[in-house]
Amino acid sequence: MKYVILGAGPAGVTAAETLRNVDPTATITMIGGEPEPPYSRMALPYLIYGKVGEDGTYLRQDPKHYDDQRIRYIQGRAGGIDSRAKKLSLSTGEVLDYDKLLIATGANPIMPPIPGSNLEGVETCWTLEDARQILKYADKDSPVVLVGAGFIGSIILEALYLRGCKITVVELAPRMVARMMDETAGGMLGRWCESKGVKVLTNTRVDSLAKGEEGQPRLQVGFSNGESAPADLVVLAVGVRSNTGFLVGSGVKTNTGIVVDNYLQTTAPDIYAAGDCCEGIDISTGKPDMLAIQPVAVEHGRIAALNMAGHKHHHRGSLNMNVLDTMGLISSSFGLWQGAQVGETAKLVDEDNFKYMKLEFEGDKLVGAQCVGMTDHVGMLRGLIQTGFSLGEWKDKLLVSPERLREAYLAVAHAHPTTGPMAPHINTPRVGNHAGASGH
């Protein structure tokens, strides 16, 4: 069997390893679009502020790992796919035959249409090469403008802050992390940033990027509020979109991402997709959505690989969740954090101490949650949401006292061990661990 995996992020690497596990004799080729060993984009902020070196971003540390696994790792970018002839052509000219193909090409940063965004010192923060560029310009006390205060922008914000940069963050939405948390949480984050000396401009757009005057910082950034600011570095983080452009004419249907079924198979025969490039099922809505987060990429990679290898595995869906450290203020959100259409909400707000917890219920089930300034046992929120336990009387207790979450978890989760987070079937299967796992 010849497996080809296009992409060497967490989805691609997990898929390759899973395939090797279940099919020891297969030929596995994994194609990365960048020159480095497979690495995690999530680790780039930690590289930027010096917590790790470049090798600290690698998905697997052992340089011989892929050879040992007999995974052929090559560099190249997709040229095109002939899904009838089952051939993938690469930008390098190489043409690969496949029996099963996995597309795990991830996402690319969206480039906002700002004049001057091609100037030196205007960077995205998506690749190792981007990080190297940022390191060139982000010195201590350098003025930096960060465009976008979404989840990724806010993570970069912390890295730049820890490097000692003087930061202005510009966000089009009325608050920070608008797609991850509500007004209360976003407002808290904004106040926290201001208290750390970061200038936060919400409801604001960057209109222009120009070269700075002689003797001034490299760039001058114009805002929609009429103001402008000098900058040694401008980091663009306005969002990402699935990397699917090369699929035109391939028979692989795309929407905002690649369309996949519950087995992560695309509309083309023997072609699967996983991770940021595709629209897997969101377990909270039952509908396809692009959930561009690490755990989902890994989950997809494993499930797609099992299906490619003929071990049918139905994907119930992935839970959207994020955790963010904003200069020491840690926040997280899970599932339907915006609330159910018809549901109830429990809230704990302590503006003075930057603490917030909000639980969203539908019937007597927890369907979403947000936390600011609370980290202990926060994974229990995932446990309760993903398993869909009936909370029974505990829902009423939580409506009054959301801080009793841990008690509620122990009381409820441990009363349902066969369907609880203890049961493997709610998550991705582990190869060799099928015995006893229900729901496969």
- Residue 14 CB, nearest approach to other proteins (Å): 8
Give CA–CA dist 123/233, Å, rounded: 8
- Residue 136 CB, nearest approach to other proteins (Å): 22
Give CA–CA dist 401/321, Å, rounded: 23
6, 1, 21, 161: which is closest to 94 by C-alpha? 6
Q: How many residues does the chain have?
A: 440
> Which of 307/332 has CB closer to other proteins?
332
> Which of 95/410 has CB closer to other proteins?
410
Task: Concatenate the DSSP letters of all residues of 70-85 into one string.
Answer: TEEEEE--EEEEETTT
> Which of 49/223 has CB closer to other proteins?
49
Tokens of 371: 């936390």
> Which of 141/376 has CB closer to other proteins?
376
Contact residues: other proteins, CB under 8 A: 10, 14, 40, 42-43, 46, 51-52, 56-61, 293-295, 298-299, 302, 321-323, 325, 328, 330, 332, 334, 375-383, 386-387, 406-407, 409-411, 413-415, 417-418, 421-424, 426-428, 430, 433, 435-437
> Which of 3/409 has CB closer to other proteins?
409
> Which of 43/144 has CB closer to other proteins?
43
- Residue 416 CB, nearest approach to other proteins (Å): 9
> Which of 119/431 has CB closer to other proteins?
431
331, 37, 381, 395: which is closest to 180 by C-alpha? 331
Give CA–CA dist 260/239, Å, rounded: 22
Tokens of 397: 């207790």
Give CA–CA dist 323/151, Å, rounded: 9
- Residue 56 CB, nearest approach to other proteins (Å): 7
Alpha carbon 258 to its chain centroid, in Å, reads 16
- Beta strands (DSSP E) in 224-302 are 228-231, 233-236, 240-242, 258-259, 271-273, 278-282, 287-289
Give CA–CA dist 257/241, Å, rounded: 8
> Which of 56/197 has CB closer to other proteins?
56
Task: Concatenate the DSSP letters of all residues of 95-150 into one string.
Answer: EEE-SEEEE---EEE-----TTTTSTTEEESSSHHHHHHHHHH--TT-EEEEE--S
Tokens of 347: 């809230």
- Residue 218 CB, nearest approach to other proteins (Å): 29
Strand-pair category, 321-326 with 287-289: unpaired
- Residue 256 CB, nearest approach to other proteins (Å): 24
Look at the block and give the residue holding tokens 């139905």. 314
Give CA–CA dist 229/146, Å, rounded: 11
- Residue 338 CB, nearest approach to other proteins (Å): 18
- Residue 35 CB, nearest approach to other proteins (Å): 19
CA angle at residue 376 from 374 to 378, to 5 degrees?
A: 80
- Residue 58 CB, nearest approach to other proteins (Å): 7
Give CA–CA dist 13/61, Å, rounded: 13
User: Residue 268: helix, strand or coil by DSSP?
Assistant: coil
> Which of 314/414 has CB closer to other proteins?
414
- Residue 438 CB, nearest approach to other proteins (Å): 10
> Which of 83/322 has CB closer to other proteins?
322
